[in-house]
Amino acid sequence: MARFTDDYLLYLLAQASHRASAEFHARLAGQGVAVSTWRILATLYPDSPATIGELARSCLAKQPTMTRQVARLEAQGLVKRRMAEGDRRRVVVRLTEKGRNMAAGLAAQARAHEMRLLAGLGEEAAARLKETLRGLLSEKGGSA
Amino acid sequence: MARFTDDYLLYLLAQASHRASAEFHARLAGQGVAVSTWRILATLYPDSPATIGELARSCLAKQPTMTRQVARLEAQGLVKRRMAEGDRRRVVVRLTEKGRNMAAGLAAQARAHEMRLLAGLGEEAAARLKETLRGLLSEKGGSA
DNA sequence: GATCATATGATGCAATTTCATATTTCGGCG
DNA sequence: CGCCGAAATATGAAATTGCATCATATGATC
Q: What is the pLDDT along chain A (144 residues), one digit of tens a residue?
A: 678 998 899 999 999 999 999 989 999 999 999 999 999 999 999 999 999 999 999 999 999 999 999 999 999 999 999 999 889 999 999 999 999 999 999 999 999 999 998 888 888 888 888 888 888 887 665 544
Do A10 and B3 lie within an 8 Å CB cutoff? no
Helices (H), chain A: 9-30, 35-44, 52-58, 63-75, 97-121, 123-139
Q: Is the pLDDT of residue B141 over 80?
A: no
Q: Give strand C nucleotides closer than 7 A to any protein Cβ.
A: 7-12, 16-20, 24-27
Candidates B123, B27, B75, B132; CA nearest to A15 is B132
B119-132 pLDDT, tens digit each = 888 888 888 888 88
Q: What value does the CA radius of gyration of chain A take, rounded to a whole number of Å?
A: 17
**Cα–Cα dist A34/B67, whole Å:** 24
Complete domains list, chain A, with CATH: 34-137 (1.10.10.10)
B121, A135 in Cβ contact below 8 A? yes
Report the pLDDT value the prediction gives residue B129, as an integer from 0 to 100. Answer: 87
pLDDT in tens, B93-124: 999 999 999 999 999 999 999 999 888 888 88
**Strand ranges (E), B3-141:** 50-51, 79-84, 87-95
Q: DSSP of B37-73, one letter per residue? A: HHHHHHHHTTT--EEHHHHHHHTT--HHHHHHHHHHH
Are B55 and B66 in contact, with CB atoms under 8 Å apart?
yes
Instruction: Choose between A34 and B144: higher pLDDT.
Output: A34
C25 C1' closest Cα residue: B89
Distance CA A49, CA A43 (A): 8
Which candidate from B48, B134, B136 shows the least CB-CB separation from A20? B136
Strand D bases within 7 angstroms of protein beta carbons:
7-12, 16-20, 24-27
